[in-house]
Amino acid sequence: MSHVTRFAIAVAAMVGTLAGCRDVARQLAPDATMSRSIDPMMSQMTEESSAPLVQHVIAPQATDPAIDRALADHYVWLDTAARGNPKLLVFMPGNNNTPSGWLKFEQVAARQGYHVIGLMYQNEITVVNVCRGSPDPDCSGNIHLEVQDGIDRSSLVNVTPANGIENRLTKLLLYLDAQYPDEGWSRFLEDGAPKWSQIAVSGQSQGSAQAALIGKLHHVDRVVMFSGPPDARVPEEVDRWISIGATPAAKYFALFHDRDHLVVGIRANLTALIGQFGDPVIAELNDPPYGGTHIVYTDLRPTLGYDAFNAPHQSTARDNNTPIGPDGVPLLRDAWRYLLGEEPRGGSEKTITLTAP
């Protein structure tokens, strides 16, 4: 597969981005301006909805005092006027990252109609590093499982049940339902637990591995993976935990960067999971639905350049590295929408422009 180094997409579109305050819902009209936290996309916010986005920024310990690690805020988004998508999207950032670094993607998902949660969880252990070359074939799988439910399986990580992803998500949904009963959070709960059939899970890098694992354990509505799963205990060998389980393979979708330093493991894992839906298709030279493939890739220049640490790896969606067009719109936005389940829009304009390498 050849590299494409001199093309970028100038996408003519409109998306909103908004800011809020801790533990408080904040509504901002599409034409409002602020002295801080304003984004270049603010002036573009008319295409999907004319309503303001609602944002909640919530400390994990506010939802459960027993949560005592990884205390960066959850980010929650809602478009009250969006139609046609009654599902919840849960997004999990990568190793040593927080949901505040993926606001653009979170907002695009909200404009697409999802209730959106950027979920903070324990991600301080770099799984791909600590398990590389391990004699234990279940090294990464056991770490991911412990991060998920807090049951002790690995000496390489220390997660309690309260700090596990499942408890964090459950307690956040219960908190949102109690604090904002008119926003419809109750439909994502069943018997005091997440109603997985109404939930799409997503993440970047290590977060994408957790999303893939959740899809294996529970039948979810969709799995969207950015730059992962990256796990590769043995180079070019599919990690043992990688397999389809409760969620059908047809509901898995992925985006990666062709110059990612972890691309060998990512390609192997994605091929094992969803390679049957076609070869990866490059986003910037094609339009959705990309020939029906479930694996999309990019070679767009990251905002920080190809050679900056982790830049290609994070450029698939992270705010400070994902390529942005001259209109302030993420160049991969159409790919994001496709991965999230949006049908291609008729008459949308796409222009290919030359850019400096």
Mean pLDDT for the stretch of residues 19-46 = 31
Query: Using an 8 Å Cβ cutoff, are 222 and 200 in contact?
Result: yes
- Three-state SS at 48: coil
The confidence score (pLDDT) of residue 342 equals 84
Q: What is the mean pLDDT of residues 10-17?
A: 31
pLDDT tens-digit map of 209-257? 999 999 999 999 999 999 999 999 998 899 999 999 999 999 999 999 9
Summarize pLDDT for 159-186 with one digit per residue, the tens.
999 999 999 999 999 999 999 999 999 9
User: Mean pLDDT, to the nearest integer, of 58-84?
Assistant: 94
Q: Which two tokens stand for residue 98?
A: 């927080």
- The tokens describing 111, both together, are 């404009």
Model confidence band, residue 291 (pLDDT cutoffs 50, 70, 90): very high
In this prediction the pTM is 0.84
Task: Tokens 């579109």: give the residue.
Answer: 13
**Better pLDDT: 49 or 218:** 218
CATH fold for the domain made of 14-264: Rossmann fold (3.40.50)
Q: In the predicted model, is pLDDT for residue 308 greater than 50?
A: yes
- Contact between 239 and 216 under an 8 Å Cβ cutoff? The reply is no
Whole-Å CA distances, 346 to 286, 289, 311, 354: 15, 12, 33, 25
Structural domain spans, the chain = 14-264
Q: Hey, which residues does 90 pair with through a beta bridge?
A: 117, 201
| pLDDT of 354 over the 70 cut | no
Full 3-state SS string of 20-59: CEECECEEECCCCCCCCCCCHHHHHCCCCCCCCEEEEEEC
Work out the pLDDT band at 348, boundaries 50, 70, 90.
very low
- For residues 232 and 265, the answer to whether their CB atoms sit within 8 Å is yes
Confidence at residue 50, expressed as pLDDT on a 0 to 100 scale: 63
Helix axes 139-149, 165-179, angle to 10 degrees: 30
**Calpha distance 262→316 (Å, rounded):** 13
**Low-confidence winner among 70-84, 196-210, 337-351 (lowest mean pLDDT):** 337-351
Identity of the residue numbered 88: L
Three-state SS at 206 = helix
Q: What band does 21 get if pLDDT is binned at 50, 70 and 90?
A: very low
